[in-house]
A = this chain, B = another copy of it.
């Protein structure tokens, strides 16, 4: 087992919690067990799908401890430690290290818009808080900060910063974007993508990793797609990607977070709802979700 969860398929489960934000660790462990049944290369705990920004420090630590119990020694566990304040992100990183997570995922969460220098210093401070390897979480749709290639290059020179999780490029030109990025970072620096509906294209173009929402609930077909695309089997990966197409459409329209909560409910895995103000999807939409997930192996 590599301690570096920055290649292959990384599955991002939701974090089931009560209406007042208490994590249901038993259900979380069941979701993780389900992921471990498939050929998945790492877990991305407390990502955006894992509603990390809506959970207290204490609940985030409880989630990490519960996950380590189930996952440790099997595949690497990466933990999201983003938050607004630098000192609190450092504290979350230390908590994750103390609970024996394998890696950190850090997003430049912002309220006041941040400058490049502020983000650089923030990452430097958090990467320096533990010995764990760190992945840059580049997710402008939630953080409202976009990393320039120059800033990624600068960050890739810091000790312990080993990877980036990219959003889908606007023009979907994965080869072009990866070529530009790779020109500036060390050869061992890993470039992966999130945005499930672009994963097939990203992996076929040579992305190092797929940071996947859907793999949190459907790890087996996501693993099959990852395997086919990583081996360059275009026909098979397109065929597998097409099985997900109705789900991708729902993700694009309603947000993947709301859809995976509804899907987890339909699968009988949890009746947890997203944290308010985020609302569960209207019951009118459940038949379409049921149809979209009908052909996917659990």
Bound CA–CA A161/B112 (angstroms): 25
Given contacts A53-B111, A141-B113, A142-B113, contact A118 B277 (CB under 8 A): yes
Q: Determine which residue in A48, A111, A274 has the highest number of CB atoms from chain B within 10 A of its CB, and name it.
A: A111
Q: Do residues B118 and A278 form an inter-chain contact, with CB atoms below 8 A?
A: yes
Partner of A113, one of B21, B54, B87, B255: B255
Contacts of A257 in B (CB 8 A): 112
Which residues from 176 to 199 on chain A have a C-beta closer than 8 Å to any C-beta of chain B?
none
Partner of A109, one of B111, B121, B275: B111
Q: Determine which residue in A54, A112, A278 has the highest number of CB atoms from chain B within 10 A of its CB, and name it.
A: A112
A115 proximal to B (CB < 8 A): yes
What secondary structure prevails in chain A residues at the interface with B? loop
Q: Do residues A111 and B48 form an inter-chain contact, with CB atoms below 8 A?
A: yes
Bound CA–CA A249/B183 (angstroms): 37
Bound CA–CA A276/B110 (angstroms): 11
Partner of A19, one of B19, B87, B111: B87
Bound CA–CA A19/B85 (angstroms): 10
Partner of A112, one of B19, B111, B125, B278: B278
A122 proximal to B (CB < 8 A): yes
A279 proximal to B (CB < 8 A): yes
A234 proximal to B (CB < 8 A): no
Q: Do residues B19 and A277 form an inter-chain contact, with CB atoms below 8 A?
A: no
Contacts of A51 in B (CB 8 A): 112
Q: Which residues of A contact B (CB under 8 A)?
A: 19-21, 48, 51, 53-54, 84-87, 108-109, 111-115, 117-119, 121-122, 125, 141-142, 144, 255, 257, 274-279
For this complex, 27 residue pairs linking A to B, each with C-beta atoms less than 8 Å apart, are A19-B87, A21-B85, A48-B112, A51-B112, A53-B111, A53-B112, A54-B85, A84-B275, A85-B275, A85-B277, A86-B275, A86-B276, A87-B276, A108-B277, A109-B111, A111-B142, A112-B142, A112-B255, A113-B141, A113-B255, A114-B278, A115-B279, A117-B279, A118-B278, A118-B279, A121-B277, A122-B276
